[in-house]
Amino acid sequence: MSGRSQCLSYAGCNFLRQRLVLSTLSGRPLKIRKIRAKEEDPGLRDFEASFIRLIDKVTNGSRIEINQTGTTLYYQPGLLYGGSLEHDCSPSRSIGYYLESLLCLAPFMKHPLKIVLRGVTNDQVDPSVDVLKATALPLLKKFGIDGESLEIKINRRGMPPKGGGEILFACPVKKVLQPIQFTDPGKIKRIRGTAYSVRVSPQMANRMVESARSILNKFLPDIYIYTDHMKGVNSGKSPGFGLCLVAETINGTILSAELASNPQGQGAAVLPEELGQNCAKLLLEEVYRGGCVDSTNQSLALLLMTLGQQDVSKVLLGPLSPYTIEFLRHLRSFFQIMFKIEMKSPEEEHKGGEKVLMTCVGVGFSNLSKTIR
């Protein structure tokens, strides 16, 4: 067949996830060279290998070739299969690392995805499961990916370095997505959050809540932060605590911020009060950035816009994160989709920083895996 879609080639291990995800969705093969080629221990790391294994699990007929040193990866995507799965994530990255990509892929499976992920639920690097649960799921609902089976459930909490957490992620299957016009974030009506603590004193959570409230109360009275202290087998293998805050507007925009304590044996101990305050400030920073989608989910929103019908979708974002910028470039090379990017400075003074209005026409993507009867 002369017309096989040509292979895309990249270098370096950065943005590995989005490359693999986009390759899977667009059906274009991918080659990544020079993965940590010049470092002391070249090649793919364990968490990347675990991610590739996960991709292999959810797809059918994909071909993955890795050279001996692990510095070159060739990926020919298959069709997304889904079903009931289990995966042990590497504890060097949190489950959020894996879950973010699964969120992109899950609506386009053959069978509804129901996956149990084990590993670190909250860490300092990746968006935690709590935040994704609070922000990404409402975002998916906006695109018509809805149903009672759409859920993220935290069965066990696991903190780094040892992990031991377990979550369940289930997502229904959609054939097509609906376009969105999401340009008015609205005003923040309430702030919710979760203060969690495992294998430390349950009082930690309360202390975090107190301090976070002290800052946020200056803006809004409607604040409720749940304390979640897990015990026994549900508390994972390492101690730790943290806070994630979610601000919800009257239009359903959800902005989030989170902080976690330093992993056991790494860095200085963090006072829960300090953490709570810092987290609240981060939330204010996020509010300052604003937009209709919070900064961690920008790329997810843009992806779902791209995969919509051939209609115009619009979304107002805060400043684009470097990850999103690279994601936009990748969207262009995989889907030939270019976004119209307009700066919007808020017309009023007290509404935070500059916003970016992203507009695109969807590619008319349809779920090729889904069976019709």
Q: Which of 107, 112, 127, 158 binds other proteins (CB under 8 A)?
A: 127
Q: Give yes or no for residue 266 binding other proteins (CB under 8 A).
A: no
Q: Which uninterrupted H or E stretch holds 305?
A: helix 298-306
Rounded-to-integer distance, Cα 20 and Cα 29, Å: 9
Rounded-to-integer distance, Cα 121 and Cα 273, Å: 22
Rounded-to-integer distance, Cα 128 and Cα 114, Å: 19
Q: Give yes or no for residue 273 binding other proteins (CB under 8 A).
A: no
Which token pair is 57? 């699990």
Name residue 326's beta-bridge partners: none
C-alpha torsion 20→21→24→28, nearest 10:
-60
- Judged by beta carbon, residue 10 or residue 241, the one nearer other proteins is 10
Rounded-to-integer distance, Cα 362 and Cα 339, Å: 10
Q: Which of 46, 65, 69, 125 binds other proteins (CB under 8 A)?
A: 125
Residues in 275-294 at the binding interface with other proteins, rule: CB under 8 A: 280-282, 284-285, 287-290
x/- site string to other proteins, residues 5 to 44, per CB under 8 A? Answer: xx---xxxxxxxx-------xxxx-----xxx--x-----
Binding-site size, other proteins (CB under 8 A) = 106
Q: Give yes or no for residue 355 binding other proteins (CB under 8 A).
A: no
CB 286 within 8 A of CB 245: no
CB 310 within 8 A of CB 363: yes
Q: Give yes or no for residue 353 binding other proteins (CB under 8 A).
A: yes
* 293 DSSP 8-state letter: B
x/- site string to other proteins, residues 203 to 242, per CB under 8 A? Answer: ------------x--xxxx---------------------
Smallest separation, CB 260 to other proteins (Å): 12
Rounded-to-integer distance, Cα 28 and Cα 3, Å: 12
Q: Give yes or no for residue 100 binding other proteins (CB under 8 A).
A: yes
Smallest separation, CB 362 to other proteins (Å): 10
Smallest separation, CB 182 to other proteins (Å): 13
- Judged by beta carbon, residue 199 or residue 314, the one nearer other proteins is 314
Q: Give yes or no for residue 265 binding other proteins (CB under 8 A).
A: no
- Judged by beta carbon, residue 109 or residue 230, the one nearer other proteins is 109
Which token pair is 107? 């609506």
Which token pair is 188? 């923040």
Q: Give yes or no for residue 311 binding other proteins (CB under 8 A).
A: yes
